[in-house]
């Protein structure tokens, strides 16, 4: 299985050969996707958290602005959203300086299209490279309608089964931790009373 883990703090492609066996094969080199959503939302005077706001705005607009897509080196499975974020901020600031009226919905739709295009295409690249039988999308950004719709279509076109949590579980960290803990428990992994929380614990540690 290839898992796309995409949130405010993470954008990773993880190869899972079997339950409890994880290998990070691609990750962001700068801003996570969710972080870029928040920063672009702030530029468009939208409240935090920005992801849901951009998602709603995008439904009202057209992806008519050609924002960049960072593919990086040929064959790379890594991500980079810093340049895209800067491109959107510059577009908005330049338009404001000229006194132009900004169509925020079109900006949101164009930004979202750029992000989802890269996420979907790199996920499919990983699925083909590792010859997996299933793709999974998780993390807060998996609630984004543009990402969900494009991933569903792309996986269907390539005949790859897709798993995405229902919307009410996309941001439920407790459910994710419980699921991971169950796998560890069944493998016989145990912790002593010195166990503490660690937000940056590598997934390979599970």
Among 19-33, 74-88, 94-108, 171-185, the least confident range: 171-185
Element of type H or E holding 31: none
Would you say the pTM of this structure is higher than 0.85? Answer: yes
3-state secondary structure of 150: helix
pLDDT tens track for 19-29: 778 899 999 99
Please state the domain extents for the chain: 2-205
Grouping H, G, I as helix, E, B as strand and the rest as coil, residue 23 is: strand
**Domain 2-205 maps to which CATH number in 3.50.50.60, 3.40.50.12780, 3.30.365.10, 3.30.420.40?**
3.30.420.40
Q: Which residues pair with 138 in a beta bridge?
A: 5
Contact between 146 and 113 (Cβ < 8 Å):
yes
d(CA 61, CA 32): 24
pLDDT of 203 reads 65
Tell me how far apart the alpha carbons of residues 167 and 145 are, in angstroms, rounded to a whole number.
Answer: 10
Identify the three-state secondary structure at position 185.
helix
Pull the structure tokens for residue 152.
């569903």
pLDDT at res. 121: 97
Average pLDDT value for residue range 51-70: 95
Q: How far is CA 76 from CA 31, 81, 109, in A?
A: 17, 14, 26
């Amino acid at each position: 299985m290839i898992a796309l883990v995409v949130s405010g703090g993470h954008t990773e492609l993880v190869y899972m050969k079997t339950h409890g066996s994880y290998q990070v094969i691609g990750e962001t080199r700068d801003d996570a996707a969710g972080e870029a959503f928040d920063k672009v939302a702030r530029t468009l005077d939208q409240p935090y958290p920005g992801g849901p706001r951009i998602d709603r705005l995008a439904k009202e607009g057209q992806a008519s602005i050609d924002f960049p897509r960072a593919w990086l080196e040929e064959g790379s499975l890594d991500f980079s959203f810093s340049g895209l974020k800067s491109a959107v901020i510059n577009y908005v600031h330049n338009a404001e300086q000229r006194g132009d009226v900004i169509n925020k919905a079109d900006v949101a739709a164009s930004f979202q299209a750029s992000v989802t295009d890269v996420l979907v295409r790199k996920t499919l690249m990983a699925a083909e490279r590792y010859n997996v039988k299933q793709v999974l999308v998780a993390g807060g950004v998996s609630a984004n309608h543009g990402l969900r719709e494009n991933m569903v279509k792309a996986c269907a076109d390539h005949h790859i089964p897709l798993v995405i949590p229902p919307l009410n579980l996309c941001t439920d960290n407790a459910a994710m931790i419980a699921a991971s803990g169950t796998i560890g428990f069944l493998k016989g992994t145990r912790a002593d009373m010195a166990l503490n929380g660690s937000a940056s614990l590598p997934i390979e540690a599970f």
